[in-house]
Amino acid sequence: GAIFHLLDDPETIGADQATQYFADGMLILEDGFVRACGKRADLEPGLGTGAEIVDHSGSLIMPGFIDTHIHFPQLDMIASFGEKLLDWLERYTFPEEAKFADPAHAEECANFFLEELLRNGTTSALVYGTVHKESIDALFGAAYKRGMRIVAGKALMDRNVPEAVRDTAESGDLDSRELIEKWHGKGRLGYAVTPRFAPACSDDQLTRAGKLLAEIPDLLMHTHMAENTSEMDWVKTLYPDAKDYLDVYAKFGLLTDRSVFAHCIHTGGEVFQRMAEHGAAVSHCPTSNLFLGSGLFNLREAEKYGVKVGLGTDVGAGTSFSMLQTLNEAYKVSHLKGHALDPYKSFFLATLGGARALNMADKVGNFEDGKEADFIVLDMAATPLLKRRLKTCTSIDETLFVLSMLGDDRTISHTYIAGECRYSK
């Protein structure tokens, strides 16, 4: 089939240098790793006699999508009507998350969740659990079975939330450590220290989170920041001495090159500058930001300061598991911010950019020799309209743009994890 991937950010070295497209391409895999990617005519003659050939002619092959922010326990309350962030949390989210004290419920949801990721062409994700360690046990168990590269953590939340979803600074720390011991580095799994957001965590809890992050060198840190104006006001009241929201996290040692901050809408300038200096990443979640009426992320501004950016669905505030649908709304948000998001840049954000945001670009994100073979096959005739519109495209960037506007789960025909087909339509 045709193959597209990115070697780098198209804006730093130019699209010509950063992208590779082979209209009649071949991807050579060995033991779940990419060995070569190029023109079929160049690579086919060198294949050994034992090589198994899988033909995806007529389709487009690209690296699997990387979702840099998603909540697996919010599956059953996606599309809940009417509220903005803080009321949405109280009314819908916390009651739903309380159900994850039950390991059987957690396991059933974890399996559905991962199948839904695969069905949407998402091969890696940074995932929130609930406050219960059972939620993450269930998710990691299910991800391990499927061989997926998943990073996740139990949510730390010891104040300003209902009793049923509250831990303590001490229990949250112990549970995180137990999960790290059990799962971190097992197969392709990784742990993220996951304070829910500053208003839900005591100083003691954030202090312990910072210590844990400093203790273990390859953990990630995953939280929310500057999503909603009422949240911004609340943080100001809780931390009157902090320079700004980022400074709250920074004071507890949570601003690092392993930190991922979802949203970052009501901020910019000097805050982005500090994030870039520390190598922290933003997860941009357009479907969620529009659904909750949170605001419009300024991607251009984040890039001006050199902040790492990935894309997140943020299900259940986000309205789709599909990273193609997420690109659709990212384009519209950037348009309202005065900038038309380039299709190469879009697919960079959904793949290699996301891998960089999660510090896993040495392992996944494109088809460089030695990367883990997580990739997807796109059905260019998935719907009558998509088929019709793609026929009129005369270049790969136009094709990519149309895919990002019209594509969704139906567009994903196969999803491969470490060289194994784990989903086919």
Q: Which residues bind ligand GUN (CB under 6 A)?
A: 71, 85, 89, 93, 196-197, 224, 227, 288, 314, 317
Q: Choose between 43 and 238: whose C-beta lies nearer to ligand GUN.
A: 238
The CA-atom distances, in angstroms, between 66 and each of 31, 118, 141, 216, 347 are 22, 11, 20, 24, 10
Q: How far is the CB of 275 from Fe ion (least distance, A)?
A: 18
In terms of C-beta density within 10 A (0-12 exposed, 13-18 middle, 19 or more buried), how is residue 265 classed?
Answer: buried
Q: How many amino acids of this chain bind Fe ion (CB under 5 A)?
A: 2
Query: For residues 356 and 375, what is the distance between their CA atoms, to the nearest angstrom?
Result: 17
Least separation in angstroms between residue 253's CB and ligand GUN is 20
Min CB(85)–ligand GUN separation in Å: 6
Residue 317 CB, nearest distance to ligand GUN (Å)? Answer: 4
**Quick one: what does residue 219 bind among ligand GUN, Fe ion, none, with the CB cut-off 5 to 8 Å set by partner type?**
none
Q: Among ligand GUN, Fe ion, none, what binds residue 109 when CB lies within 5 to 8 Å by partner kind?
A: none
Give the residue with the Cβ less far from ligand GUN, 72 or 197.
Answer: 197
Amino acid found at 259 = S
Q: Closer CB to Fe ion, residue 73 or residue 343?
A: 73
The one-character DSSP state at 341 is: -
Nearer to Fe ion, 262 or 378 (CB): 262
314 binds Fe ion (CB under 5 A): yes
Angle among Cα 113, 117, 121 to the nearest 5 degrees reads 170
Nearest-approach distance from CB 360 to Fe ion, in angstroms: 20
> Closest distance between ligand GUN and the C-beta of residue 269, in Å?
22
Nearer to ligand GUN, 222 or 422 (CB): 222
Q: What secondary structure does DSSP assign to 205-271, as a single string?
A: HHHHHHHHHHHSTT-EEEEEES--HHHHHHHHHH-TTSSSHHHHHHHTT--STTEEEEE--S--THH
- Indicate which of Fe ion, ligand GUN, none lies near residue 374 (CB less than 5 to 8 Å, by partner kind): none
- To Fe ion, the closest distance from the beta carbon of 205 in angstroms equals 18
Q: DSSP E strands: which ranges in 134-196?
A: 149-153, 155-156, 190-195
Beta strands 220-225 and 190-195, pairing class? parallel
Pairing mode, if any, of strands 375-378 and 412-417?
A: antiparallel
- Compute the Cα dihedral for 352, 353, 355, 359 and give only its sign: positive
Residues 114 and 124: their CA atoms lie apart, in Å, by 10
Smallest gap from residue 41 Cβ to ligand GUN (A): 48
Distance (Å, whole) CA 16 – CA 39: 17
Kindly report the backbone phi and psi dihedral angles of residue 318, in degrees, each rounded to the nearest multiple of 5, phi listed first. Answer: -70, 155
**Residue 325, both tokens:** 């649908």
By CB under 5 A, the residues from 254 to 313 that bind Fe ion are: 262
The item of Fe ion, ligand GUN, none sharing an interface with residue 209, based on CB under 5 to 8 Å by kind, is none
* Closer residue to ligand GUN (CB): 292 or 350: 292
CB closer to Fe ion, 285 vs 302: 285
Quickly count: other Cβ atoms within 10 Å of residue 395's Cβ: 10
**Nearer to ligand GUN among residue 288 and residue 319 (C-beta):** 288
Given the rule CB under 5 A, which residues bind Fe ion?
262, 314
